[in-house]
Chains A and B, each alone.
Chain A
Amino acid sequence: MPTIQPKVEGPAGDELALVHAAKAGDISAFEELVKRYDRNVFRIAQHITQNREDAEDVVQDAFLKAYQNLGNFQEQSKFYTWLVRIAVNEALMRLRRRRPERMVSLDEDIKTEEDSMPREVADWAPNPEQLYGQGELREILSKTIQGLPPSFRTVFVLRDVEGLSTEETADALDLSIPAVKSRLLRARLQLRERLSKYFKNRVGGDGKQ
């Protein structure tokens, strides 16, 4: 079975030159960095906050903070990884504001293994995404990922949607590599379990609930 290949976005070649120019006060260089990563930051922010307005605010505030703190960027990691770290913190802060009744933390973990043990083992239709219209499919995917704890969906989004490596995800979230792998496995298995009810192969059925 072929492995999943990371999605690589954004050329890195001239990135450091842009960062140096921006550090020296060249706002047009910083604007290039914004253009390069604004879509990624928006996606990450909306995945975490599950709120469009919050995601818009996160994009603005994360880039502004990055600009203001460029002097602290040590260049030991990619600029994007550093930016993601700022954006994730901004997004989690907004999520906490909206859900003060619930503790929201990247340290949040679920101790039992049962939450991720596969129960549904029916195979899926060959092209499950074609069982639904585009709008309906988006709604299913959005609703399903919303059901994950924030700590799980953040790791899933960085690793599997944005294509960061395990090491980059650990750096961006200040987690250990085993913690990233553990959350990623459980996030993947929980999403799979929940999507199975929509996508499983049903001979003679329409696959819908």
Chain B
Amino acid sequence: MTCSEFLKELTDYLDGAMDAQTKAELEDHLQWCHNCYVVCNTTKMTIEIYRESHLYELPEELRSRLRSAIVSKCKGHRGDDNIEPAPAGPK
């Protein structure tokens, strides 16, 4: 396995979405390729840092205000058909 081939599989590897044989081949590559080991490890850290960063949390005061506004608008628009349609639901 080359480094380019490893990179192509990196997302599935980090997500655990691959068969046992491919996983074994990737892990064999990681045993001897330090650069790919570092890229794999630091990509995993990147994901974890963003996931745990609590960037853009919604403050409680703003949250209450937004919720009141939403509920009030929903009441105001109940039965009103003169609305731009939202996109169709997922397939």
Residues of A within 8 A of B (CB): 1, 3-4, 7, 25, 27, 30-31, 34-35, 38-39, 42-43, 46-47, 55-56, 59-60, 63-69, 72-74, 76-77, 81-82, 85-86, 89, 116-118, 121-124, 128-129, 137-138, 141-142, 145, 156, 160-161, 163, 166, 171-172, 174, 181, 184-185, 188-189, 191-192, 195-196, 199
- Nearest B residue to A173 via CB reads B90
What CA separation (Å) do A27 and B72 show in the bound complex?
A: 10
Q: How far is the CA of A138 from the CA of B40 in the complex (A)?
A: 23
**Do A81 and B90 touch (CB < 8 A)?**
yes
Question: Contact partner of A30 among B17, B63, B74, CB < 8 A?
Answer: B74
Q: Are A118 and B35 in contact (CB under 8 A)?
A: yes
Q: Which of B13, B51, B53, B67 contacts A34 (CB 8 A)?
A: B67
B interface list, Cβ under 8 A from A:
7-8, 10-17, 27, 30, 34-35, 38-53, 55-58, 62-63, 66-67, 69-71, 73-75, 77-78, 80, 83-91
Contact of B86 among A86, A122, A166 (CB under 8 A): A86
Among B39, B70, B75, B78, the residue within 8 A (CB) of A63 is B70
Given the complex, which residues of A lie within 8 Å of B63, measured CB to CB?
38-39
